[in-house]
Chains A and B, each alone.
Chain A
Amino acid sequence: MPNKSYADIWGDTVDLKHLATGMIIGIVIGLGFYLTGLTFIKANYPKLPLNLTTAYALLVGIAGCLLAAVISAKLFPPKRILTQGEFSDADRIAVLEELQIDLKKEIEELKTVDADVIEEMKELQLYDLFTGKSGTQKEGR
């Protein structure tokens, strides 16, 4: 394929070649561990009841799956871009405008709100925003 072949599989982005290799790694190591574990336990602990023998082999198999996940994580880096945002008062005001918040109604309603919630809002510097103070002062409206 000419371009990078990204695709959305099971809710997140993968490289298809990486995915195919990863699945093979998972199945081969997982099943390999299970079968090896089973043979080993059967050979060394022949007196163990059958259901426990297979259950312990299963545990070995699961350990193999975990190992496969670690190997795949080392081999294939995530196909994600991490962006970190900053906030500014202008952003906050833009949100209020976008949501068409009626500040007059908010001011009325805030009078019924408990004091501890008001305190919480003040700590977060949201109180001025909803009472319209930060908007008028900093935006000069």
Chain B
Amino acid sequence: MEATLMHDLIWAVGAALAGGIIFALIGLISGTDETATIAPLTLLVILLGFPPAAVFAWFIAAAVSKHMTHAIPTALMGVPGDTMAVPMLKDCTILRRLGVPHIALRKMISGAILAAFVALPISVAFASLLAPFAEQVKSWAPIIFTIAALIIAYTSSGRWASVFTLIPFAFFIQGVNKMAIAGLGKGVFISIFLGIAIGPLFSDIVTILSPISRSHLLRKEKREFWLAPELKTWTGYFPNPLKVLSREQKIYTAIAAAISSLTFTFSPVGMTVMVGEIISSRVKSMYQRLTTSLAAMNGVTESTYIAETVIPLMAFGIPLSPMALGPAAPLFNAPPIYTTTPVVHNLHTLLAPWQFLVYGMIGIIVAFIVSYPFAMNYARKASVWVLQVVSQEAIISMFAGLIVVLAYYEAGIIGVAISITVAVFGGILNRYFGIHTGVQFMTYYASGWLMLTIFGIK
């Protein structure tokens, strides 16, 4: 028993270190989508046979670490680090123009790490409360997925377009899957998932290939980035996040993190905007208002990252949140190792509640040690390096390879064909009609039941 515990602990720390370091670097690249980066590498870790404890610690460290460093482009350049950073841009821009972008960064990442430590235990506790209903939820899963798909569709920016295309998209996905069954004798998951995740890239490629639409994306000049000058005002290497935040900021951040941990099915961006609004209306004096709302908003995106992963995973084992359908999807479904259908066999069944808490904490602590001082000390140098060395061509080159290799791994050339097919159509629906990847993933999970119920197609 003790030997297994030691084994798991060592694996967890090692995996968390790897995840923390890799994603601290990926986070520096502005605009990298969480789903497109975290999901494929997590899938790889699972397929390589990492033990469940290590997989979970890896994921938490990766998510926390990326979240930490993606605040750097957001604060220093006014370019959103990822989709969840968009609501914070306005406040960051004001602080940047007041000459204190480093303060924006510091408040954001200190809020984030505080929120992470608050969110994990609350999520685990809340998941334990929900666990008794797990059997019912699982037996109703297809219907819950369908209802959730309808709700997510209606609340997406595509609104009625998303609702309207729900059944056609389900038909399309199952049709593509039937092609895999016809060609290979088995259905596919990885290829479809990657196709949806990489969709926006392919919609851009199709747009640029057509003479009719090309002009939307063409530009004459290079893109200009504006970077704030160096302003280091503190000494030492390892700053204390609790000292960076004022008393009021600590309280607001902790409360916002705790509450947002309980709303695991809502949109993280929506929650972030709401918290920002509430704080803006309550906190007095502009400087205090800006810094407090930034700390709390970035805390909320962190806590929703954690809660939206931990709660559905621990309580139900089926992906019932935007995060679980995106970056965390492989923790639920990574055939042949983890599955949700016909039986749930994933971290839900492989880890006990205390293990979620312990290995999650290991993930957070390791990410904290790796990324927090890095972001505090080297934010500017690292941004300059990324901007001047890592071209967008190199990033897309890597992802093109990654997608093809993973799809080929699952289903050979048919897998590659399926990924590209789904990417082209899903990407266009996403880019031009606001039917985002969350809607598409949820529809995917509902599609089997929908086709059986509506058309009698098994």
Contacts and interface: CB of A to CB of B under 8 A. Distances in A.
Given A9-B392, A87-B229, A30 B405 contact: yes
B44 A9 contact: no
The residue among B49, B99, B214, B408 with the most chain A CB atoms within 10 A of its own CB is B99
Given A7-B208, A73-B391, A81-B224, A126 B396 contact: no
B48 interface: yes
B393 A76 contact: yes
Contacts of A34: 405, 408-409
B219 A120 contact: no
Given A13-B392, A58-B406, A59-B44, A116 B246 contact: yes
A117 B246 contact: yes
Contacts of A58: 44, 47-48, 405-406, 409
A23 B396 contact: yes
B394 A69 contact: yes
Given A81-B224, A82-B384, A114-B247, A9 B201 contact: yes
A92 interface: yes
A137 interface: no
A26 B387 contact: no
A85 B100 CA distance: 12
A13 B397 contact: no
Contacts of A56: 48
6 contacts: A26-B400, A31-B405, A55-B47, A72-B393, A78-B391, A130-B285
The residue among B103, B217, B287, B397 with the most chain A CB atoms within 10 A of its own CB is B397
A140 B325 CA distance: 58
A141 B222 CA distance: 41
A14 to B, nearest CB: 5
B98 A92 contact: yes
Contacts of B208: 7, 9, 16
- Interface residues of A: mostly helix, strand, loop or mixed? helix
B228 interface: yes
A77 B388 CA distance: 8
A83 B221 CA distance: 14
Contacts of B277: none
Contacts of B396: 9-10, 14, 19, 22-23, 26
Nearest to B234: A123
B204 interface: yes
B228 A85 contact: yes
A13 B228 CA distance: 21
Contacts of A86: 229
A82 B394 contact: no
Contacts of A95: 94, 97-98
B204 A106 contact: no
B233 A123 contact: yes
A52 B401 contact: no
A64 B402 CA distance: 9
Contacts of A92: 97-99
B343 interface: no
A26 B217 CA distance: 23
Contact of A69 (B218, B226, B285, B398): B398
A81 B10 CA distance: 44
Given A11-B392, A95-B94, 20 more contacts: A7-B219, A10-B201, A10-B395, A14-B391, A26-B401, A27-B404, A30-B405, A54-B409, A58-B44, A62-B44, A65-B402, A65-B405, A76-B391, A79-B391, A87-B229, A99-B94, A112-B284, A112-B285, A123-B233, A130-B286
B279 to A, nearest CB: 14
B284 A13 contact: no
A81 B223 contact: yes
Contacts of A7: 208, 214, 217-219
A25 to B, nearest CB: 5
Nearest to B99: A87
Contacts of B405: 30-31, 33-34, 58, 61-62, 64-65
Contacts of A44: none
B102 to A, nearest CB: 9
Given A19-B393, A58-B44, A117-B246, A6 B401 contact: no
Interface in B360-416: 384, 387-402, 404-406, 408-409
A65 B396 CA distance: 10
B97 to A, nearest CB: 5
Given A19-B393, A79-B223, A106-B285, A12 B401 contact: no
Contacts of A124: 99-100, 103, 233
